[in-house]
Each structure stands twice: as C-alpha cells, then as structure tokens.
Amino acid sequence: MRVDTGFEPLETDRLRLRRSRPEDAETISAYRSDPDVNRQQGWDRTDPAGVLADIVEMSTRVPGEPGGWVQFTVEERERRIARQLADAEQANAQAQKLLEDHKAAMAQARGEAQDLIAKAKTVAQKERDILLAQAHEDTVRDVIHSFNERGLAALDPRWAGGRPRQITSDDEQYIVQAATTRPAKLGRPFTHWSIRKLADYLADNPIRRVKVGRERLRQILHRCGISFQRTRTWKESRDPDKDAKLDRIEEVTSRFPDRCFAFDQFGPLSIRPCHGTCWARRKHPDRLPATYHRTHGTRYFHGCYSLGDDQLWGVVRRRKGGDHTLAALKSIRAARPDGAPIYVILDNLSANKTPAIRAWAARHKVKLCFTPTSASWANPIEAQFGPLRTFVMGNSDHESHPALARRLHAYLRWRNANARHPDVLAAQRRERARIRSERQQRWGRPRTQAA
C-alpha cells in the first residue's frame, strides 16, 4: 500500500471523506454498537471512551503506514453546514440573552437611582417645610399685625443687608479725584499719597469730610482702576515740522514696507558688568563683579533694519560720524540693488544729514525720512534694540569690545534665523511700550475719530 503523507479530505457534491476527529467519537460509537455492524466487523471496543482513545492514537499515523490502520469518516456536507448554522444560531441566542440581561440590570439600576433621587427630594422638601414652619410666636404675631395694617404688602418685608451705606457714589468720585491730585496742591507737604495719609486728609478736610477706613479706601481705589505706580519722565518734541515728519514716516511704512529701511546708532556700549535676569536658586542670586576702572572706552552699534524682510544687521564703531552713516546707507542700498527708490528712516542727527550723505542719497535714489527732534521713538529700529539690550547686554560681563562684537553678531545671526521667536517678539513689545509706540499709537497724537 502506498504511504500518503499529504492526505487531503475528498469531497463530492453530497459527501466528504476525511480523517476521524475526537468530536466524532459519539457518532462512531453508536455506529459500532449496532449489532448488525458489530457482527460483521468484530470491534474490540465500542464505547465512546474506547473510540476516542483509538482516534487519538491514530492521529499520529500516516495513511498507508505499515503496522497500523487509520479511521476515516464519511459525512454529508449539508448536515455539516446545518450543524454549523445551528451552532451559530445558538451562539447568537446566547448573545441576545446576555444583552437582554444587561439591559434589564441597567433599567433596574436606573430605577433604583430615580427612587433614591425622589426620596432625597422628599426629605429636602420636608426639611424646608420644617424650617419654614419654625418661627417664634412673636414673629407670627408681627406678621399678622403687619398684614392687617398693610395688606399683601406685608408679604415683602424688604430685608436690609446691614447698616445703610455711608459712602455715596459722589464720595467715591471725590476720593478718586483726591488720590490722583498731587498732595502739594491740596496743602500737604508730600510728593505722593500713602493710604494712611490719604485717609487722614479725607477725614480732616474742612471742605468735604469723608470718613473711610484704610482697607475700604484701598478697595474703592482698586475698583476705580487707581493703582500705586512709578512715575515716568516725558520729553515733548518741539520740532516745528513734527507732524509732517511723522506723517511722512507713517506713509512710507504703510505704502512701501518692502522698500522701507531704518537706521540708528545703539549705544554707548561700555565694557562693564550689566545687571539683568537669569535663573538661580531662591535667595541665592547670581552676582556679577563690580568695576572701578573702565579703560576700554565706548563703542556704538550702527544698526540697519529691513521692515519688509524683518532682518537686522550692522557693525560696531568707535564713534558716530557721517562716514559711518554713509557706509551703513550703502549696505542698505546693496540690499535692494534693483535701482528703484528706497526709503530710510533715521534720527534727526547732524551726522546723518551731512552734504556728502545728501548728495549720495540723491544720486542713488535713497529717500531720507528724518524723525522729529527728540522723537527717536518714531524710528522702527528702536523696538529692535530692546532684544539686543535684553539678550546681549543684560546679565553680561564682556571682557573686551571685540568679544562683545562677536557675541552681538552671533545673536544677530540667531535673531535673523528666528525673527518670529516668541521671546524676540515679547522683547520688542516691551521696547515699544518703553518708547511710547505700543499698538501702533504714538502718545501725544489722538486717534482719528471714525466717521
């Protein structure tokens, strides 16, 4: 007999021949137990356990292998499919039963929760009824007398929350006016008010006395937007052409941003420890050495800024001068080599408007836009010097001017590659606030009223 190591089940349209499996033990046992079959075959074991043992033993044999035999089973294909469908229906029925049991459990839990909520509401209502009913007999008698006198109006007792108000709205306005007035104008020998001094003045003022405690006075000032602040200096430009120059700067920055540049000198830069900010352990600040002899002199950073490209560059010079300004203007002109007009905003400094500079600018189509006198805050480059002061000069102790110049240019390279970095933008905002041009509104010039 041929040994068939790759035996596969044989199928016809109605039957399927395959090797017997352990789940066939019950069916084969019933077949062997038939007397007519057993008389012809002569099986030793016809019980299910014996048949199962034979099937397990034959599972390792190969059909046609000498020294043993293999049990085969013939089954009807429709019956097998029907059995699979029955098993699937049984599994589906079990799943449906589990789902129904789960829904029933959820409904029961929901009902119990609603019962608990209803009981809690009932208890709370009873407690409210008890509280409403708990009243002294004198209170009930007063309500009855009040109802006899005023009718239904007695149902609104008009309870008051404490004593009547003693500080009126007019008193609060008077307090704010006194707090924002210099003490010297009110006959007090002070330069500013303290809470205690202001309260004493309001209580002893012969014109209008307002008695108010210190804490209440602080609350009134806080609610009215009055806070204790540092004063700031102010220098107004007296340039007769101030408005015309500011309008010119605003025009070129809004109409020609890609052709607009700014130039200014940042300094003086000296070699000395500069205080700043850094991270350190609490109550152990990082300390810089003090200097008593400064022999390095000063330098000036001649900076150029492109509004359209948001790029900042420049060089460090020993002094301010027309020749250095002209060199900076030539670098700006090189940034737009197309020959079309460009606009440069720069301070109204004598070194920035020498005859040589004016002649060169006229030949090379460079339009000079000067800021008004004492109004360098109108120069857009001023906001760019804030990050330089924060990240290069602050918390520094440069050993020499060449070292300072190297670190300044290293920062410029990083800044131009990260022009929209949040730290750079925050430092620019702080500098704009410091030089009076925050939110594109110049102090001293009112907003244009909408039509």
**pLDDT for 369-428, tens place per residue?**
999 988 888 888 988 888 888 888 888 888 899 999 999 999 999 888 888 888 888 887
Task: Point out the least confidently predicted range of 43-57, 299-313, 349-363.
Answer: 43-57
Got the DSSP string for 317-343?
ESS--HHHHHHHHHHHHHHSTT---EE
The per-residue pLDDT for range 267-283, each reduced to its tens digit, is: 898 888 888 888 888 88
- Residue 140 is predicted with a pLDDT of 76
Separation between Cα atoms, residue 65 and residue 58, nearest integer Å: 11
Is pLDDT above 70 for 204? Answer: yes
Residue 135 falls inside a structural domain: no
- By CB atoms closer than 10 A (0-12, 13-18, 19+), residue 226 is middle
Taking residue 343's Cβ as centre, other Cβ atoms within 10 Å add up to 21
Q: Do 20 and 58 contact (CB within 8 A), yes or no?
A: yes
Q: Which residues, in sequence order, are CB contacts of 201 under 8 Å at separation 6+?
A: 178, 183, 186, 188, 193
Mean pLDDT, to the nearest integer, of 209-223? Answer: 92
Residue 61's domain comprises: 10-70
Residue 276 and residue 209 share a domain: no
305 and 416 both lie in a single domain: yes
Structure tokens at 421: 């970095």
267 in any annotated domain: yes
Angstrom distance (rounded) from CA 275 to CA 295: 19
Task: Please check whether residue 45 lies inside any domain of the structure.
Answer: yes
Assign residue 339 a region: left if phi > 0, alpha if psi is -120 to 50, beta otherwise? left
- Checking if the pLDDT of 442 tops 50, the result is no
What CA–CA distance (Å, rounded) separates 68 from 60?
Answer: 11
Give the Cα separation of 427 and 56 in Å (integer). Answer: 84
Residue type, 120: A
437 pLDDT higher than 70? no
Question: Is residue 160 included in any domain, yes or no?
Answer: no
What single-letter amino acid sits at 275? Answer: H
Q: What's the domain count of the chain?
A: 3
Of the three residues 55, 70, 85, the one that is the final residue of a domain is 70
Using the predicted structure, report yes or no on whether residue 340 has a pLDDT greater than 50. Answer: yes
* CATH number assigned to the domain comprising residue 384: 3.30.420.10
Tokens standing for residue 330: 């030539």
Model pLDDT, residue 153:
78
Question: Do 254 and 218 reside in the same domain of the chain?
Answer: no
**pLDDT for position 447:** 52
Q: Please check whether residue 392 lies inside any domain of the structure.
A: yes
pLDDT of residue 448 exceeding 60: no
Give the type of residue at 347. D
Residue carrying the six token digits 């410091």: 434
Among 43-47, 51-55, 192-196, 438-442, the range with the most confident prediction by mean pLDDT is: 192-196
Q: How many residues does the chain have?
A: 451
What's the pLDDT at 78?
Answer: 63
**Tens digit of pLDDT for each residue in 224-265?**
999 998 877 767 788 889 889 999 999 999 899 899 999 999
84 within some domain: no
pLDDT at residue 360 tops 90:
yes
- Domain end call among 27, 44, 70: 70
My answer on whether 336 and 405 are in the same domain is: yes
Q: Is residue 125 part of a domain?
A: no
Same domain, 271 and 379: yes
Pairing of strands 366-370, 298-306: unpaired
Percent of the residues in the chain that have a pLDDT greater than 70, as a whole number: 86
In one letter, which amino acid is 52?
L
Residues 6+ apart with CB under 8 A from 165: none
Question: Does one domain contain both 268 and 361?
Answer: yes
Instruction: Please tell me whether residues 353 and 216 are part of one structural domain.
Output: no
Ramachandran sector of residue 297 (left: φ over 0; alpha: ψ -120 to 50; beta: rest): left
Task: Tell me: do 177 and 218 sit in the same domain.
Answer: yes
State mean pLDDT over 105-120.
83
φ/ψ (deg, to 5) at 96: -60, -40
Q: Is 224 helix (H, G, I), strand (E, B) or coil?
A: coil
* Residue 217 and residue 363 share a domain: no
Find the DSSP H helices in 134-213.
Answer: 137-150, 169-179, 195-204
Query: Is residue 342 over pLDDT 90?
Result: yes
pLDDT category of residue 328 using cuts at 50, 70 and 90 = very high
Distances in Å between the Cα of 177 and the Cα atoms of 172, 173, 187, 226, 231 are 9, 6, 15, 10, 18
Please check whether residues 308 and 208 belong to one and the same domain. no
Q: Which two tokens stand for residue 326?
A: 């002209």
Report the mean per-residue pLDDT for the chain.
82
DSSP character for 266? E
Give the separation between CA 106 and CA 65, rounded to whole angstroms: 61
Phi and psi at residue 164, to the nearest 5°: -60, 155
Same domain, 409 and 279: yes
Structural domain contains residue 233: no
Residues 217 and 333 in one domain: no
Least confident of 71-85, 183-197, 273-287: 71-85
For the ranges 106-120, 129-143, 188-202, the maximum mean pLDDT occurs at: 188-202
Which stretch of 119-128, 178-187, 391-400 has the lowest confidence by average pLDDT? 119-128
